[in-house]
Structure 1
Amino acid sequence: MMHSTEHPAWRKGSKCANGTCVEIAAVDGGYLVRDSKRPEQQPMFFTGEELSAFAEGFVAGEFAPE
C-alpha cells in the first residue's frame, strides 16, 4: 500500500559505500523503503512496528543465506 507523499526525504545507511543501498524515508506515520538502484519503482510502506520487527530479525540473522 503506497501512502501519498510529494517529496520524501530519502536517507541511505552510513555504511552504504557502493551505491547499491536500501533507502528509507519517514512519512505519514510510517516509513517508505526503496532500492537506491531503482528509485523510479514504487517504494514499499511499513508501519513503525513492521520496520522494527524486520530490523530485529535482520540483526538476529533470520535473513542470512543458508
Structure 2
Amino acid sequence: MTSVLHAVWKKSRRCESGHCVEIADLAVAVGIRDSVTPQQHLIISPESFRVFVDGVKSGEFDRV
C-alpha cells in the first residue's frame, strides 16, 4: 500500500474555495481527506469507494 505521506492527493478542478475533498489512490485502498485538515483522513476499500461514488451520482445523498 502506498503511504499516506507519499500519496498523490487529487481534488476536483471545480473546487475553487480551498475547502475541498481530496482523494488518493493507495494501490489497495483509497484515501479521502478534507483539504483544510489534511492530517486527518479516511482509508477505505476501493469497493466501498465505488459504492459511495455510485450513491453520489444517483442522488442518494442529495438530502443528507
Q: TM-score range by the shorter chain?
A: 0.7 to 0.9
Q: CA RMSD in A?
A: 1.7
| Deviations, residues 8-62 of structure 1 (Å, cap 9, x unaligned) | 1111112111111100111141110001111122x11111111010000011111
- Match of 1:62? 60
CA distance in 1, matches of 2:38, 2:20: 11
Residue type of the partner of 2:33? Answer: R
TM-score normalised by L of structure 1 = 0.82
Match of 1:48 in 2: 46
In terms of fraction of residues, the more helix-rich structure is 2
Tell me the matched-pair count: 63
Which 4+ residue blocks in structure 1 deviate beyond 3 angstroms?
Answer: none
- SS for the counterpart of 1:18 is coil
**Structure 1 unpaired stretches of 5+:** none
Match runs of 1:21-40 below 5 Å:
21-40=20-39
